[in-house]
Structure 1
């Protein structure tokens, strides 16, 4: 309020997101699924995993885990909700090749293992393992920034999300 009266600018809040998997960060536009690639699911990036483990990208709460364990939503204390969707069309595997290590409503710490998966099984079943990482709440992200390089699960601050002003 005072900054508005005196012309100051409120600073934008950012959330630093650790790498949720080991692999290569890639632009969301390169994901072989139009809903993700065109940003219809929300803004984000993707990772081509080289190992079969997803870890918590920040301290938060598990908002939802899909019954087939191929996708999970983690909520940050800021309200930011992040979807980690392992592979493309992997719901068709009906949970085979995935093992959830947490449940909905569990509190998690950054780097904590969330889901184990078998990338070789996913690929041999004819599915891509590329893993979209999406801000799913529409009022959440103004901008998602990262540099595209190889990361290890738990590497801190590889993705920076600037939250929309409220």
Structure 2
């Protein structure tokens, strides 16, 4: 009788996050760094890159760029923060082989180039080029995270779906 005044239950928001690099998506547990592999940095996935370009997989705001340009954090409209970390221990390269195209505070659009990196230079220096992509505030913001492994193309293939907490 009073159905028009009844509150409708809000459906949980599900986000699909596209690959920020082209390559092969793998489980985070395959990253040769305990901080990432054990989930200490957040929940997520990793990609073995086939080309040296990191693009924004969604519209958002740059909240942090690591000084050596090997990592960037972007926050989306819902407040979820994503860390894109190119390679393992690549901070030791002190920026060599990395070119950032963004700064803290920049608004970015999906598909925009964030960082270019030289895969061969990173490998020649003895560092794994595997790139973890993690939700740094997943415990507060995400109720479930479903990952998709296998070959991915930057800006086209979904690497994970996140269901937001209501």
Same topology, TM > 0.5 = yes
* Equivalent residue number for residue 3 of structure 1: none
Aligned-residue Cα RMSD (Å) equals 1.5
What 5-or-longer segments of structure 2 have no aligned partner?
A: 1-5
CA shift, 1:7, in A, is 9.5
1:164 paired with 2:139, answer no
Counterpart-to-counterpart distance in 1, 2:144 and 2:88:
24
TM-score, normalised to structure 2, is 0.91
Structure 1 match to 2:3: none
Q: Give the corresponding residue for 2:153.
A: 152
The answer to whether the 8 Å contact 1:57/1:154 transfers is yes
Query: Counterparts in 2 of 1:19-58, with a 5 A limit?
Result: 19-58=19-58
Contact 1:81/1:140 (<8 A) preserved: no
> Do the aligned residues in 2 keep the contact of 1:100 with 1:116 (CA within 8 Å)?
yes
User: How many angstroms apart in 2 are the aligned matches of 1:141 and 1:57?
Assistant: 18
Q: Please give the per-residue CA displacement for 1:57-106, whole angstroms capped at 9, x wherever unaligned.
A: 10111111111000000110000110000000100110100000111111
* TM-score, normalising length: structure 1: 0.91
- Displacement of 1:162 in angstroms is 1.4
Q: CA deviation at 1:125?
A: 0.3
Measured after TM superposition, the shift of residue 146 of structure 1 is 2.5
Q: Which has the larger radius of gyration?
A: 2
The number of residue pairs the alignment matches comes to 160
Unaligned runs of 5+ in 1: 1-5
The answer as to whether partners of 2:28 and 2:45 remain within 8 angstroms in 1 is: yes
User: Displacement, 1:11?
Assistant: 1.9
Distance 1:120 1:36 in 2: 23
